[in-house]
Structure formats: structure tokens, C-alpha cells
A and B are shown apart, each in its own frame.
Chain A
Amino acid sequence: MSTPQYSLIGTRPPRHDGADKVTGRALYGADLKMSGLLHGSILRSPHAHARILSIDTSKAAAHPDCRGIVTAADFPATPERIVDLGEGETPLSYIRGNMLASGKVLYEGHAVAAVAATSAQAAAEIAKLIEMKYEPLPCVLTAPAAMAPGAPLLHPDLRCKEFGQPTTAPSNVADHFRQVMGNSEEGFAQADIVIEREFTTSTVHQGYIEPHTATALWNNDGRLLIWCATQGSFVVRDSVACMLDLPVSRVRVTPMEIGGGFGGKVPVYVEPVAALLSQKTGHPVKITMTRREVLEGSGPTPGSFIRVKIGAKKDGTLVAAQAYLAYEAGAYPGAMVSPAATCVFAAYDIPNQTIDGYDVVVNKPSTAPYRAPGATNAAFATETVLDEIAETLKLDPLDLRIRNAAKEGTRRADGAKFRRIGCLEVLETMKAHPHYSAPLGEPSHAAAQRGRGVAVGFWMNAGLPSSCTLNVHADGSVGLIEGSTDIGGSRTSIAMQAAEVLGLQSEDMRPSVVDTDTIGYTGVTGGSRTTFATGWAAHDAAQDVVRQMKERAARLWQVEEVQFANGVFTGGEHKLTFKQLAARVGEIGAPVVGRASVNPRGAGGSFAGVIVDVEVDMETGKTSIIRFTSVQDAGKAIHPSYVEGQMQGGSVQGIGWALNEEYFMSAEGRMMNASFLDYRMPTALDVPMIDTAIVEVPNPVHPYGVRGVGEANIVAPPAAIANAIHAATGHRMRHLPMNPPSVMAAILRG
């Protein structure tokens, strides 16, 4: 099959929002100002688990700067019902309960009340005047502890769904599912080597720079207007409407610029609270979280307990695998364990598999998506066990993976059969990369040792609906209206997909991200779907523009047929460029407005691999990253710089997850490091330049072959670093993070 030739796709034009971002003109949620604006502050629980005995707001309400106070009692008095906001069916009380606690608090930082006042400082001070009485209860902080007999129960009404069927006993396990393919016990019996290991991973946060912020105005006409930092304006609209018992048409959400999300800005936290305060005060109310509130009161990614067992023949052929995945959901059900099950062995063709997944509530913040949610924990287990198998069988670790790589037709344990994928191409690119054969170099001092590790990861990506409108202007430029929050340059990668059809340059496009009244439904900027799905909508909308422009040209030239190629319309003896025809559209008909909406299947998964060199200080346990190469299948890189940016960003987050980041929890469930001073994320000084290699195995269903690239790149880094630490020290690491005390303990154990 010949490779399509593009004029714009695959080039690196400047991003449309670049100038505003670097000059500080771009408007973020916290920048918003409006007449009569009040500021909100949220009072949060100091206990990880406690019964709320009373809430006395009288002293706070008497403060001269107080304009209003809300608690869970201010939600509309609607009966309990099951709702589905895109993350599965959930009781309404759980969704509301995470905004403002009712009856019990389930984690430190759980919101219990909110105040609106004339300034943010006054609101924070007044919130402290609210008198809370609690009855502290014992807490559970890990999945194994919460699953143990006699563990304190978070939700007395929660019953485990065992293989989809309800059970009767109260439990902290919300769901237990199993995926089976072949017969793993028979498979293990055929194996020459079987390795089974246990792993634990700590709770980590997405660590976006911009805290959650929202401004709400309950307008005089009864409409609720919200401006906020979100990955999905329609998710905010639907969530707020659901919680406040409003029709969606009564809520308009305007997404502001966003300072990072990584999945953590898919859920809502402050929007409904700001709305209730606005309803109570009659004023617009803005709430912006502090960093402590972000860490304690928004959703981190799950800690987990994982057991993985893999069997192989002497030649390295994998014959059986089992996984036990117990993931912390935080305070409410919904741990990212089902995607973990999908990904845990997805990179390999293993005929016999059994995967058990457990969704377990614990007294920590309700977890939220984080870049390939669940997959990084799972790959840490699988990829280190594979490394041990390769070492035992004296095989090159990449050769072992290449021998067993999933390919078109490989079936996963969940039943899905892969279409064309790039797993093998990623692994072969890693094997051929100069990094893989380069010398490790001399350690920087006598107590240091170096090692190299590899790993590969998978994320399945999402489709979901997207909409796009194109307005052709008289100067030949095109306004592109879309609903996808731009986190990593997606305005440009979407605009380029329309411009390619129209024969225009990226600079000819004027992309705008607009509110929920102005564009058709568009899913979240998440699931690595935006360039794939909204780009697809832009491509189709451009086709609609071409169709209409051909009609105009046919009328102008009085010809039957008009052709369009390379940005030029031709008919008979006539010829006009897109821009020339755009200037004459007004003479011959109505303005040209192209539009399209899509809800595509076929997102196509993405595989990403890592080669990493580390240096371990054998006297302190400190691990330094010496060299790091990320390899990922992008299908087709629309704008290679943004693909590389995703790969580098995911890699650095993976390095932080591997080496430093964790919620330090006291036995009472209090986070002891709720600031960026103590929650240690990598800085530019901690990592080398992340080298990238883009693999392009086109996604057969997408107009340009796109596969989403936002997530798969975070999956492999912790496992690859663990394997590199083993190569350097001879010690296997089975807990994240692999911080200096953890590595030192392994060294001292010998």
C-alpha cells in the first residue's frame, strides 16, 4: 500500500494559541473578573473517616463579610437514583457526596461546607468559623486492608458485584470481575519456567500546575453559567445539571484555558458548589482551590496491590499468565481497574490468561483518571516479571518481547481482537535504536553503578463524539469552532486536518474552543481522543466545505462539474484557488458553513516503549536518569512536535511516579506532604532530554491514520526504570516509588 502524500500533515507549524500563552494574555479560570464577583472557600474534613454529628454555621453567617453558606443540605431534595455520567452507573448520592459530604466524611480533605464572601481571604477565614462536630471512625488506606475481614466499612449500603451479579454482604469491594482466555492452569503446566511476584504502588497525583477553579453565575433568567478549567465542558454541564436537578439546557459551560489536566480535570469538584453559592447569594461566585486542596480534595490515581504470574517455554514463548489486580477507588467506587485488566497483558500474545480485578473503596480522595489510568501500575508488574524471565532464560529482554508481541488478530483476555497495531514495530524500533546498543558509560563516582532497562506499555484509546463547524471568510481564512479543550496543542493538530483537505496553511485557520451552547456535543479531551476524533470531525467538516464551494463554483461558472485538488477549484476553462473563490462566495449564494459530527469506533490502541539508563548511588539509594528514549506508535503524527511533547511529558511523569511521587499517609489517613515542596515531582534539573522516536503504523479507519498519543507513553517508564535499577544493582524493585530509602533497603537486604 502506498503512503499518502500530504502537504501540511506531518509538518510543524506554530500553534495558534502560542503567542497568547507565552505573553500571558491567555485567559485562565482564575483570571476571570466580573461585576459583583464573590469568592468562595470550602471547609474540609480533618478526619479520614468520621460521622458528622452537627454543622453550626451561625458564627460564620454573622460575619460582616459573609454573603452565603452552603452544605449538602442545599442540594435539591430529589430522591436517590442511579445516574450515568459516562463513568458507569453510580448512585446520585455518591456523586453529590463527593462535592459536599452528607452524614459521613470519607477522607481527609472531604468538603463539608462552603462560604461566599467579599474576598478569597475573608471566605477562608469565615469558613473556619463553621463549627463541626465529628465522631471519628477507624480508617482503611489500602486495598488489601479494606478487603480484610472486619475492615471498617465506608459505605454500609455498598454490596460487591461479583462477576456482574449482586451479593448481599456489606463490603468495601464494589466490583470483582474476571477475564479468562484459554486455561491458565493447563498453560502453566506446559511452562518450563513460572515466575510469580507481588507488587504495590502508592497513590500519586497528576500534578497539573493550575489548581481547579470555577466561577458560577446563577443568572436572573434561571440559567446557570459556568466558566471553569476542565477537560470536558459537556461533562461539567451534564454533571452539574444532574447534581442540581436541572435540564442540561439550563446550564452553559465555558471552558477557559487549562493549565494541565492529565485526566484529573475530567471530574467536577468546585463547579456545583460555586453554583449553589451563586444561587444563594445572587452573585457570581468564584472558587479556586489551593495546592493543598488539590492534593487532598481532588482525585489522585489509585494505589494498588498486584500479583502477576507468567509462564514461559525455554525458548521464551509465553504460554500462560495470571493477574490479581486490587485497585483503590478512594472514597467512592470506580477504581481504574477495568482498564488495568485490559492492558496488563495486552502487549503479548499469550494463549492462556486469567485476570481478576477488584474495585476497592478506601479512606482516600475519590480517584480520578491519570494518563492511561490503571495501566502504569499493571505494566510495572508485568514488565518486571518479563524482565526476570528473560534474565533467567538468558534471553535479550527485547527479543523475548518481540517473540511474543501482540499483532493483528491477537486476542486479549477481555475478548477483543486487535486490528492493525504497532506493538512489534515499536519493539523493533527500540531494538534498532542507537541507544540500545550504546555503551552505558562510566559511573560518575566510585559508589555509583549503572544499568539499562526496557519496557513496553499499551493504552487502548477512546473514540467518543466530537463536533466541528467551519466558517469560510471572504479573505479565504476559515474559522474553526470546536469544543475540545486545548491541552497540548490540539487547536493546531485539529485545524491542520481541516486545512489539509482545503489546501490551506495552518495559519489560514482560526480555531476557537467555545461553550456548550455554541458547538455540538463533544467528549472530553482525554482518552487520547482529541486529535483522533475532533480531528476527524474537522476533516469531515472540511469535506462539507469543499462540497459547498464546488456548488458555488459551478453556479459561478455555469458548468456541470467542478474539480478540487491541491487547493484549486477547476471547471471547464475556469480555475480559482480556495481563497479566490472564498472572496466571491457572497456573489453567488449564502455563506459557506461546513459542519460535521462524529462518534467513531476504531480509535486503535497505541503502544509505547522505553529504553532507560540509570545510575544508582549504592551508598544512598538515589537513582539518577542518565539517558531516556521513548518510542511510540502515533499512527500518523499530524504535528510531530506535539506528539514528541506528549511522549516527553508522559515520560517525565512516569519518571516521577517511578522514583519520587507518593502520598505519604499517616496511620490516621492524613496526607503528610500536601504541597509541591514535599510532594516531589521531577523538575528540568532531574531529567535528561527525553529522546523520542515516532513509529507510524497508520490506524486503518482514520482519514489520516491517527492513533491517540496522550497516554501510552506513561505506562512503561516505571517498569523500565525498575529493570534498569536491577541491572545496576542486582535487586528487583516491587514497590513504587523506588525512592532512595526503598532502593537502599533493597541494597541492604542483599
Chain B
Amino acid sequence: MPQVYIPALLRPCTNGQELVEAEGQTVRDVVASLETQYPGLRGRLVSEGRLLPNIAIGIDGEVSVLGLNETVPPDAEIQFLTAIKGG
């Protein structure tokens, strides 16, 4: 099952846990799974069906350009990163 690295500022939503498991074949599914486990977390990541502008998705350390639509390998680690602007 994919693991999700929770940034420090969002860890209050996951009871302080840094790494949590969440099911899903896409990042969108994973976010839905997170919301089921940790109500309120989705609102810190997504608005109106889109990632918040300050958030980027990393899959095993590589930034994805597909965001919520990115496919998630079963053993992947997903990271919610600070979006890079100006690069």
C-alpha cells in the first residue's frame, strides 16, 4: 500500500504521524483515503477539486506534473511538497 509523507505543518491532522498509509491508484484516490482516516486533511491539500497552489506532489522524490491525476505505484511514497515557483 502506498505510504504518504506528511509535512510537519500538516502533522496535527494526522495525530503527529510523519508517515501514514493510504489506499489508491491515483493521488486523488489517496487524498480521498486520507480524508476518510483523517477528516479535514483534504481541505489542507485540495480546493474545488484541484491541488492548492502552494502544494506539489512528489512520487518517490520526483515532482509530478499531473498532480491529483498522477498514477500511484503500489509501493510508492507520496510527498506533499512546497510548490516550486520561479524555477
Which residues of A are at the interface with B, using a C-beta cutoff of 8 A?
A: 84, 87-89, 161, 163-164, 175, 177-181, 334-339, 341-342, 357, 359, 367, 369, 373-374, 411, 414-419, 460, 462-465, 526-527, 599, 601-604, 701
Contacts and interface: CB of A to CB of B under 8 A. Distances in A.
B49 interface: no
B86 A336 contact: yes
20 contacts: A84-B53, A87-B86, A163-B9, A164-B54, A177-B54, A177-B82, A334-B85, A338-B86, A338-B87, A341-B82, A357-B82, A369-B86, A374-B87, A415-B80, A416-B61, A416-B81, A417-B5, A417-B60, A527-B87, A601-B59
Contacts of A418: 61
B52 A179 contact: no
B58 A415 contact: yes
Interface string B48-67: 00001111001111111110
A415 B85 contact: no
A14 to B, nearest CB: 32
B12 to A, nearest CB: 12
Contacts of A88: 53, 83, 85
A602 B63 CA distance: 8
Nearest to B59: A601
Contacts of A417: 5, 60-61, 77, 79
Contact of A415 (B52, B53, B79, B87): B79
Contacts of B40: none
B54 A175 contact: yes
Given A87-B86, A414-B82, 19 more contacts: A87-B85, A88-B85, A163-B9, A164-B52, A177-B82, A179-B8, A181-B8, A338-B84, A339-B86, A367-B86, A416-B58, A416-B81, A417-B60, A417-B77, A465-B65, A526-B87, A599-B65, A601-B62, A701-B62
Contacts of A178: 8-9
Contacts of A337: 86
A599 B69 CA distance: 13
Contacts of B58: 415-416
A180 B7 CA distance: 7
A582 B12 CA distance: 63
Interface string B8-51: 11000000000000000000000000000000000010000000
Contacts of B85: 87-88, 334, 336, 338, 359
Contacts of A87: 85-86
B41 to A, nearest CB: 13
B53 A180 contact: no
A164 B65 CA distance: 20
A524 B53 CA distance: 20
Nearest to B80: A415
B84 A339 contact: yes
Looking at A336, A341, A374, A417, the one whose CB has the most chain B CB atoms below 10 A away is A417
A336 B83 contact: no
Contacts of A341: 82
A335 B82 CA distance: 14
